[in-house]
Amino acid sequence: MIVKEAIYHLPKSNFAYAYDKTTLHLRIRTKKNDIEEVWLKIGDPYEWESGGLDGGNLNGSDAKGWSGSVEISMQKELSTDYFDYWFCEYKPLKKRSRYAFILKNSTEKILFGEKRIEELTGNESDEEKLSNISNFFSFPYLNAKDVLDVPEWAKNTIWYQIFPERFCNGKESISPKNVKEWGENPTHDNFMGGDLYGIYEKLDYLEELGITGIYLCPIFMGNTNHKYDTIDYYKIDPHFGDEVIFKKLVEKAHQKGIKIMLDAVFNHVGDEFTLWKDVVKNGSASKYADWFVINKFPLFDLDGSKNYETFANVKEMPKLNLENKDCRKYILDVATYWIKEFDIDGWRLDVCNEIDHKFWREFREEVKSIKQEFYILGEIWHDSLPWLMGDQFDAVMNYPISDAIINFLTSKKLDAKRFEAEINKAIVAYPKNITEVNFNLLDSHDTARVLTVLKDDKRKLKLALLLLFFQSGSPCIYYGTEIGMNGDKYSGCEENRKCMIWDDANQDKELFNFLKILIKIRKDYKEFQDVFIEWKLDEDKNILVMKKETVFLIINLDEILNKTLKVNTYTSNDRIQNLINGIVYSTEEISLEAQEFLLLKNINL
């Protein structure tokens, strides 16, 4: 019997959406290994041999012979722990679609509709069930405006995240008076003097590595080294530089084919923000009192407890009330100002899930009206589908991918089945358009550095980078990863934000060159942009194979034993090239060390 409770589909979601102006993508979930075949019955609801639908009979109760429908075989897209996912695409000739799913296994055949499940028995009653579109799902019209329109350039951008205060000190004269010596132990409140001049100087370095996008943590005026406590949204922090050097930075980056994305801290401000200071001074009489989320006045009780909302519990970061129309307009003006005046290419939206959806819809309309190919990236650590249906963000920081890779590489034994399930969950979580431009990362200013998490095992770091680059979307490197920087992150420890190492003698050049090669491979071979991965686990040999078209990755999962294998076991091609070192193999055996990998591509004779 088919396990009907496991079947799931939802229109206008990651299960049914407009991929482009002519194409629908449709997906259905079933219990793992329960269904053998799935067919999509779909068509124009207004085409019938007799009778049909009209304005007063949208369920077609008198319609006979649905001539506008077709049946399309759905392919098993992928599997997770408990479910299989089936996928197909359909191009509705007249934009309108009604549809249902026909599911079959060795014992049963059913029609899965919007209202109920019908048994299909092979007799005359089946035709009535297959034509009763009152039980069919509806995609009323494929409107071009509803297509998930994301920036094409983001599909293969190689991002590099910079924490400006710790990257490079290019102009010592603007450093804070209490600046520490470069490389001193980082703390929550000390300063090292990194600035925009330093980033400008190192653009050649980033170009050599192959970077095509820079994500800058906040550069606006703030009291702290991290600048997430904005004082003035229209002024660059004077310890970083000014608008002149920033404009030069953007222009030079663009000349090198590098996009610039700024951090947008629109959920809260710092306690030195001018309008907040007015509220502190004048209380409820301040004309800006409703610009903030204040529970009651006075702002502080006698015991010192606060009566206003903040970021987390940080009293120095009062939360903006973006439901106030004036506050809303102010922030939207900020967002568009930096695009119009400095030609930035993206905003990374800090704590964006605590701001209402209506604001983000307005935000998208505003920024896209100025620069259609602008990239809108949300900082959300959990499932983010409500923000990713084309009317708000283009992408989110894809922490589920980083969690999957890190958990895979830090487990006692590399658990390939678990890893496959977690990666596949991330793939089906969103429409394909989103997955193609999602922001994939291993670490950031908010986490321990990946090398520390991997216990300083650079062999595993290389594999982590390779697994990151194997995913569809835009991979991001946190500054210093390319030269082997480590650093922990926990309460009272900010080693993950330590100064970039510029002394050649202390940089891991071999790791730098490995990543440089990996970035070039990623750019050269379009296969890496493909969303879906074909998985094969050879449990006897403990070998995992991940394949995308003609490119495949082989990993020896064993912690101790080397493995000897013939690479043409995993492909029908006689000639295979190692993309890392260029070596071409045919039928010879290759020794693969414990937890080592090969990145290979089929090549023509």
DSSP, collapsed to helix, strand or coil, labels residue 140 as: coil
pLDDT number for residue 217: 98
pLDDT number for residue 56: 45
| Spatial separation of the C-alpha atoms in residues 162 and 170, rounded to whole Å | 14
Residue 322: count other Cβ atoms within 10 Å of its Cβ.
23
Q: What is the pLDDT of residues 497-528, one digit of tens each?
A: 999 999 999 999 999 999 999 999 999 999 99
Return all residues near 499 (Cβ < 8 A) that are at least 6 apart: 166, 167, 182, 183, 184, 186, 192, 194
Mean of the pLDDT values across residues 6-31? 97
pLDDT confidence bin for 603, thresholds 50/70/90 = confident
- Cα angle 519, 392, 352 (rounded to 5 degrees) comes to 80
| Spatial separation of the C-alpha atoms in residues 11 and 190, rounded to whole Å | 51
Mean of the pLDDT values across residues 561-581? 84
pLDDT number for residue 538: 84
Distance of alpha carbon 495 from its chain centroid, rounded?
25
Mean of the pLDDT values across residues 11-18? 97
pLDDT confidence bin for 115, thresholds 50/70/90 = very high
Residue 141: count other Cβ atoms within 10 Å of its Cβ.
12
The mean predicted confidence, pLDDT, of the chain is 94
With 0-12 CB in 10 A as exposed, 13-18 as middle and 19+ as buried, what is 5? exposed
With 0-12 CB in 10 A as exposed, 13-18 as middle and 19+ as buried, what is 572? exposed
Mean of the pLDDT values across residues 4-25? 97
Say if residue 55's pLDDT is above 60.
no
Say if residue 63's pLDDT is above 70.
no
Lowest mean pLDDT among 53-67, 310-324, 570-584: 53-67
For residue 550 the two structure tokens come to 């003609």
Return all residues near 322 (Cβ < 8 A) that are at least 6 apart: 266, 328, 331, 355, 356, 359
For residue 491 the two structure tokens come to 């309460």
Catalytic residue numbers read: 350, 379
Buried b (16+ CB within 10 A) or exposed e, 534-551: ebebbeebbbbbbbbeeb
pLDDT confidence bin for 540, thresholds 50/70/90 = confident
pLDDT number for residue 65: 80
pLDDT top residue among 279 and 587: 279
For residue 511 the two structure tokens come to 């790791």
Q: What is the pLDDT of residues 132-159, one digit of tens each?
A: 999 999 999 999 999 989 999 999 999 9
| Spatial separation of the C-alpha atoms in residues 329 and 151, rounded to whole Å | 25
Q: What is the pLDDT of residues 248-275, one digit of tens each?
A: 999 999 999 999 999 999 999 999 999 9
What letter would DSSP give residue 455?
Answer: T
Q: What is the pLDDT of residues 162-210, one digit of tens each?
A: 999 999 999 999 999 999 999 999 999 999 999 999 999 999 999 999 9
